[in-house]
Amino acid sequence: MQSFDLSKDGLRALNSTLHSLRGETNMTEWEVINPKGSHSIAVGVDALIDVTVRGSTGYYCAGMNKQATIRVKGSAGPGVAENMMSGTVIVDGDASQYAGATGRGGLLVIKGNASSRCGISMKGIEIVVHGNIGHMSAFMAQSGTMIVLGDAGDALGDSLYEARLFVRGSVKSLGADCIEKEMRPEHLELLANLLERGEASHLAKPSEFKRYGSARTLYTFNVDNASAY
Amino acid sequence: MTDFPHTPPKMSWTFSNEVNAEIRRAAATGIYDIRGGGSKRQLPHFDDLLFLGASISRYPLEGYREKCGTDVWLGTRFAKNPIHLEIPITIAGMSFGALSGPAKEALGRGASEAGTSTTTGDGGMTEEERGHSKTLVYQYLPSRYGMNPDDLRRADAIEVVVGQGAKPGGGGMLLGQKISDRVAMMRNLPKGIDQRSACRHPDWTGPDDLEIKIAELREITNWEKPIYVKIGGSRPYYDTALSVKAGADVVVLDGMQGGTAATQNVFIENVGMPILACIPQAVKALQDLGMHRKVQLIVSGGIRTGADVAKAMALGADAVAIGTAALIALGDNDPIHEEEYRKLGTTAGAYDDWHEGKDPAGITTQDPLLSSRFDPIMGGRRLKNYLKVLTLEAQTIARACGKNHLHHLEPEDLCALTVEAAAMAGVPIAGTSWVPGRY
């Protein structure tokens, strides 16, 4: 395993080194020590590598990740895995605001709680939160899947498009145009698969979740919906 | 019966025919008026400024013999690879979606031939514009449609869009008629829906966050790309200062005459400030921070002629951007389509229902038949010609003021025709030394 001391070698050197890894490489295992809440750790990585950050991170850890598996052995600051394209990001602790924002692919697993706006404007990413999520989560979520084993805060899925949301606990309130939808067999199958990949199959069963999605009433402007905008 | 003189019918200034027509339209349809373009109000503008020209105290340069430089460097503050343009007139951000693929190609062709840059928009980067743009600025918008690290890395610069002049504080809008299969795929949206994109970025709020966001973008692109921050003309002094604080290489400032693909008319006409009022405030912020010419300033919103270019630069801008004028150069609102404009209930020069996707010129549409009318090679040539004329005109004025580079133009070369323009531009009224508001 390659070890990188962030407090000694600096962020620029870390990201530059990780960016230099393209395609096939035998240096597939990396650890980052002394992250001390630094921002932009392991952003823009595009290689089949495994990066373990030993500690908590600041803003945008694993931003725009492609292919890599990035593990945070602590909590993550705002915007973890923002605009992720592919790969996997696993946060052992809690995640701050905007976790997985605008993510276009890949899997984000948060083993603690996620704060507000989790999955905001998500565009294909899969998000599994073992704990609770804060208010305005999945706002304007376009596509992808979010699974929450705990509770959701206010205005879940406000103005969402085609993203699929599954919550096991309570939902404080639904946002504009977000409704509860029928659970069909294909959704149970999807949940089982994603719980397994999200390291949560031992924590919850697919049948315990409710499904939420778009009522699609705001897809075309109608003045009589003005109060919903 | 005696025929007494009658009081003639008197129309209300407050309730004019135009106002009443809008009230009737709103009552009949139940929806606000949506349109493209920028403010159509008569605003204090560059027309209200004049150049003084050379005199005994300053001598001019020979028009056709003595050189007047036009090049500009952008992104010299932090970027490893700053941009060098031959002319200081760039093409503003306009989305694929708002514009057709061939129109984006034409912008790339014309800009590249003229030695300048073009800019993506709220719809991601297309092959048409990347392939035909020697220098391409990639916009980083709240919607993040199509955003990906590969396009970030193949861009020549990144423009973080905070606002635009037509609608400072407003998000994007692209109505269902223009959400074709390709646009829907690029934006990851259902086909045919009315798309309204967010007005705030999803993962940062305020200047401290912006600083961290810019640093992230630099890390992803290895500190190679200049990073611009685009702001609408609302509080240019503070927004410029905060952009500099957040680490911008370039500030792009867009006044309310700057166009949009579609938004509410009430927004376009009532929010924001004219570019003339914005430039001196932004320049003042840069000067107060000791960053004028170190962080470059690009201004836009109503640039039409080389005189406008020269005036904007004399007020302190490093470069300008054009959007509406570029579309007109391509053929938008050309009277040759008058018959079709009439069928759409409008006339050449007034057509602004770009959101409907029925543009007879084939520029602001996703309709394959209409867009096939537009020839990107010819369009690119027309844009190149226009950019060359703007440059020649600006050089003509600069030489007359005795300047051997457009960047040597200065406020002292200007005077104003109106009190308003003098106060906004911070230059004296013609024939006086009076600058309103300055003691």
pLDDT confidence of residue B437: 86
Residue A226 lies inside a defined structural domain of this protein: no
Cα-based distances in Å from B401 to A124, B60, B132, B316: 57, 6, 36, 15
| Integer Cα distance of B424 and A18 in angstroms | 50
Residue A223 lies inside a defined structural domain of this protein: no
Q: Using one digit for the tens of pLDDT, what is the confidence trace for B129-176?
A: 899 999 999 999 999 999 999 999 999 999 999 999 999 999 877 777
Counts of helices then strands in chain B (DSSP H, E): 15, 16
Of the candidates B165, B124, B367, the one whose C-alpha atom is nearest the C-alpha of residue B263 is B165
Give residue B439's pLDDT band: very low, low, confident or very high (50, 70, 90): low
Beta strands in B166-311 (DSSP E): 173-174, 195-196, 227-232, 250-254, 260-264, 296-300
Of the candidates B110, B130, B120, the one whose C-alpha atom is nearest the C-alpha of residue B159 is B120
Residue that is written with structure tokens 């009443």 in the block = B20
Structure tokens at B153: 């890395």
Burial of B174 (0-12, 13-18, 19+ CB in 10 A): buried
pLDDT confidence of residue A175: 97
pLDDT, mean over chain B: 95
Structure tokens at B366: 């996703």
Burial of A82 (0-12, 13-18, 19+ CB in 10 A): buried
Of the candidates B60, B110, B161, B121, the one whose C-alpha atom is nearest the C-alpha of residue B391 is B110
Residue A224 lies inside a defined structural domain of this protein: no
Structure tokens at A37: 């809440």
**Pairing of the two strands B260-264 and B34-37:** antiparallel
Burial of B9 (0-12, 13-18, 19+ CB in 10 A): exposed
The size of the A-B interface in CB pairs under 8 A is 96
CATH 3.20.20.70 describes domain B49-425: yes
Give the CATH number, domain containing residue A167: 2.160.20.60
| Integer Cα distance of B385 and B136 in angstroms | 20
* DSSP-based three-state secondary structure for A127: strand
Residue A222 lies inside a defined structural domain of this protein: no
Classify the phi-psi angles of A55: left when phi > 0, otherwise alpha if psi is within -120 to 50, otherwise beta.
left
pLDDT confidence of residue A223: 67
Of the candidates B334, B280, B275, B330, the one whose C-alpha atom is nearest the C-alpha of residue B302 is B275
pLDDT confidence of residue A227: 64
Residue A52 lies inside a defined structural domain of this protein: yes
Confidence check: pLDDT of B128 > 90? no
Q: Which of B220, B223, B263 would best serve as a mutation to test chain A binding (most A beta carbons within 10 A)?
A: B220
| Integer Cα distance of B341 and B345 in angstroms | 6
Beta strands in B335-416 (DSSP E): 414-416
Residue A228 lies inside a defined structural domain of this protein: no
| Integer Cα distance of B59 and B56 in angstroms | 7
Q: Using one digit for the tens of pLDDT, what is the confidence trace for B413-435?
A: 999 999 999 999 999 999 999 99
Residues of chain A that touch chain B, judged by Cβ-Cβ distance less than 8 Å? 11-12, 15-16, 19, 39-40, 43-44, 46, 58-60, 63-64, 66, 78-79, 82-83, 85, 97-98, 101-102, 104, 117, 120-121, 123-124, 139-140, 142-143, 161-162, 219-221, 223-224
Structure tokens at B211: 């600083």
| Integer Cα distance of B225 and B135 in angstroms | 12
With a cut of 0.90, is the ipTM above it?
A: yes
Q: Are B60 and B52 in contact (CB under 8 A)?
A: no
Q: Which of A102, A125, A223 would best serve as a mutation to test chain B binding (most B beta carbons within 10 A)?
A: A102
Structure tokens at B226: 């200049």
3-state helix, strand, coil in chain B (%, to 5): 40, 15, 45
Number of domains in chain A: 1
Residue A68 lies inside a defined structural domain of this protein: yes
pTM of the model: 0.96
Percent of chain B at pLDDT > 90 equals: 86
pLDDT confidence of residue A222: 72
**Pairing of the two strands A69-72 and A50-54:** parallel
Residue that is written with structure tokens 């009737």 in the block = B24
| Integer Cα distance of B387 and B113 in angstroms | 10
Structure tokens at B333: 């609102």
Other beta carbons within 10 angstroms of residue A31's beta carbon come to 16
pLDDT, mean over chain A: 95
Residues of chain A with pLDDT under 70: 23, 223, 225-229
pLDDT confidence of residue B190: 85
Other beta carbons within 10 angstroms of residue B184's beta carbon come to 18
| Integer Cα distance of A211 and B297 in angstroms | 49
Of the candidates B199, B196, B228, B202, the one whose C-alpha atom is nearest the C-alpha of residue B97 is B196
pLDDT confidence of residue B1: 61
Percent of chain B at pLDDT > 70 equals: 100
Residue A11 lies inside a defined structural domain of this protein: yes
Q: Mark which residues 218-237 of B lie under 8 Å from A by CB.
A: 219-223
The parent domain of residue A69 ranges over 2-216
Beta bridge partners of B99: B96
CB-based contacts of A85, cutoff 8 Å, min separation 6:
A64, A65, A66, A104, A105, A106, B148, B149
pLDDT confidence of residue A123: 97
Of the candidates B389, B383, B374, the one whose C-alpha atom is nearest the C-alpha of residue B110 is B383
Q: Give the distance from CA B143 to its chain's centroid.
A: 19
What is the four-CA torsion angle of B90, B96, B99, B100, rounded to 10 degrees? 120
Sign of CA dihedral B25, B31, B37, B40: positive
Q: Which of A21, A121, A218 would best serve as a mutation to test chain B binding (most B beta carbons within 10 A)?
A: A121
Q: Is there a contact between B188 and A16 if contact means CB atoms under 8 Å apart?
A: no
Tell me, what amino acid is at A127? I
Of the candidates B153, B170, B159, the one whose C-alpha atom is nearest the C-alpha of residue B90 is B159
